[in-house]
Structure 1
Amino acid sequence: MKDEIKYDVILIGGSYAGLSAAMALGRSLRKVLIIDSGLPCNRQTPHSHNFITLDGEKPANITTKAKDQVLHYNTVSFYEGIAVKGEKKENCFSILTDKSDVFYAKKIIFATGIKDVFPAVKGFSDCWGISVVHCPYCHGYEIRDKKTAILAQGEKAFHLASLVNNLTQDITLITSDSHLFTNEQLQKLENHTIRVIDKKIIEVIHEKGYVSQLVFNDGSRENFEAVYAAIPFQQHCTIPVELGCAITETGHLKVDAFQKTTVSGIYACGDTSSLIRSVANAVATGNICGAMVNMELIKEEF
């Protein structure tokens, strides 16, 4: 089996977090294999923001440049495909891909991200990441001062409203469960002239992803220029859980301060293990993850 261990680390997911981890490992001369499908979750987003030196850049351009730089380190290899199964062996891990290739490594890093679960609302997915967004820090400045809707429930809706209130004075909170708000929360929303509409949306009217109207289940409609939405998600890759990695209450892979999961030898970084969903955080956690994996290898070898 030892002869089959070609890599120090197999890194599943080659977007911001994965490439950041790969760079840290490549610079330590670790043999790394990146497995990636080439379909990042933000591929529909026209511009990336709140990441210094690359503010406003196209996400694909950031990834392309990062990949070119990472593959400059000749101990790092890239494999286009999807990891479909993982196994913990006696002294390593094996990863099976959708092309029936099997690779072996001492350590595994999951940077596979999360998959958004879109509501059954016509036009919603076409606007996601363009004018229907999840994060004020990533998109709020660009849609400031616009007539804005917030689609969320309960505490998430109230939290989003508080964040967005600094960016626009025309906010409508659309919820199907207004009874989930406390009297104190409702009073605060009223004090900030934030309307609360208790209706369900059935369609987002848009032009090439830019919202113009929301259509409600009672047949009414209203003009909006921007929408924030708190929607559920699921792990993009099921292998970590199949290998025994614990999941947090929020649905993320559970990691410690060093990006270690609850299974020895398995690490995770980026959106798959963090509430903070941004390019900057993905790069940061990836860099930490790569360094910590290298340190674990050093402890085993030195």
Structure 2
Amino acid sequence: MEQTYCREPNNELIPTHIGCRKCSLRPVMYGDVGWLKLLISEGKVAEYLLRNSSFADVMAEENDAGEAVNMAIITAEGEPAGFVSALPVIDRSPAMPRWMLEFAVAERFERRGFATEAVGALSDYLLGRFALPKVVADVCDANTGALDVVRKCGFARPESRLAYMNYRHVRQGMRYHWYRMQPGRRALYFAKGLQYYRSRRFVDAAQMWYEALAYPRCEGTPYCDSLILANIGMAYSSAGWYVQARSFLERAAVMAEDSGYIELELMWIARQTGM
């Protein structure tokens, strides 16, 4: 599945401070590299975090370049306890913009509520500040501490058939993309359609996206009619329902600002069917 990296946030939009009850968040700075490297290479963090210690070298650079929102978790006493990081990405097949969230807390600060408050606060900020409507945390079943955090923060787990295994971290077992979304019926139906599509239930996905069209688009969300119509067409095409696919794709192409990928799919259908 192709992913591209969005550049929506920039250093002017990254918050300078997010207050929590037990801790606070501030942007990761270049002076944080030392303790971040120690954190990422220790015990449970090294075992479960998908990225290695080189991640510490680029967090401040990503903040400055507007490529991510990387925040340090600071205790009330001023000690760095961990980090929470959000990277904006978009899947192209089908389109689904989202934030990918990673977080870690040093073992000596575990079970004090810092991770839960940090993940909850940053998720609230992202969903309230930016147009990307979904925050996703990639968590393996073995990481019980992280599972407790995402559950407490209101994340939902997709259906079991959408689990996967990271080939670089096979020993961690099955992983799920736990998610939180902006409110709105259109967004909820869109997300359900995406789950069906990834399960190869293409007709069910198309029907769910069609249901989404019945609800208004919430301001600031990317779920425009042309995007949904294009996804319906792609789903029907994947199911081999080419007549229906062409109908929805042609409607989407008229409405979309960028219809290049839609035209490519229509050309592919024409070659397959002679229509």
Q: TM-score, normalised by structure 1?
A: 0.23
Q: Which has the larger radius of gyration?
A: 1
Query: Relative contact order, CA 8 A, sep 6+: which one is greater?
Result: 1
Q: Give the number of the structure whose residues are more often helix, by fraction.
A: 2
Q: Give the number of the structure whose residues are more often strand, by fraction.
A: 1
